[in-house]
Amino acid sequence: MGPLKARVTETDLKVPFFLTGVMMCPKWTTEDGFETQLAVNHLGHFLLTNLLLGMLKRSHPSRVVNLSSIAHVGGKIEFDDLFFDKRPYSPLLSYKQSKLANVLFSRELARRMKGTGVSSYCLHPGVIRTELIRHILVRFPVLKIILSLPCILLMKTPWQGAQTSIYCAVTEGLESKSGCYFSDCAEKDPAPEGKDDEVARRLWEESARLVGLNIRH
């Protein structure tokens, strides 16, 4: 992600939210040569979190909240081909990989921050009426017709979709749940692939290499 220099003027940071994401976009590549979904949904959050860890520790108790998705179910971290350079690109598989990366990153961050006063949470916000699905509608126009029907009423509004993020940020006594996965303002069990500590450790190390970090916590 290139040389990153930042002048931090704030001295206190309690709860950074990592909500930025893209979903099932075409195969685009960042200027650093990374496939866009993994870069935006995971690597950017990973890098910024690490750059802020010193401040988060000084501001303890503090929390890191990562937005994942139920789409992490069935995902796989393909260490031999993270950016689809060797296999046909699949927008869905790429998205699932990036959302699984959120779960594993949050879990590994919690392990590394144990005893520091920094807690880590990830969550599925629900299916929300936003422009996140715009790339899906382009690929599958029939979905645009379906989603314009009354079933759209079953989707959450942005306000409703924000509630679990807020829950993870402000609920008292949640420190013992650091590293856990949440949905609908309650702890939920992630998919088995989201509880693989060895893959989580390896993903952390590979992510650090990719973004040029040489930090051990």
Q: For the segment 63-83, what is each residue's pLDDT rounded down to a tens digit?
A: 999 999 999 999 999 999 999
Give the C-alpha separation, 170 to 190, whole Å.
21
What average pLDDT does this structure show over 38-48?
A: 95
User: What are the residue numbers of the active site?
Assistant: 95
- Give the pLDDT score at 14: 64
- Give the pLDDT score at 60: 93
How many CB atoms are closer than 10 A to CB 29? 13
Which residue, 13, 191, 166, is CA-closest to 101? 191
pTM for the model: 0.84
Indicate the burial class of 71 (C-beta count within 10 angstroms; 0-12, 13-18, 19 or more): middle
What average pLDDT does this structure show over 170-179?
A: 96
- Give the pLDDT score at 4: 43
- β-strands 118-124, 181-183 pairing: parallel
User: Within 13 Å of residue 30, how many CA atoms lie on the same side as its CB?
Assistant: 17
| E runs forming strands in the chain | 17-18, 62-67, 118-124, 181-183, 186-188
How many CB atoms are closer than 10 A to CB 81? 10
Percent of the chain scoring above 90 in pLDDT: 66
- Give the pLDDT score at 148: 55
- Give the pLDDT score at 136: 58
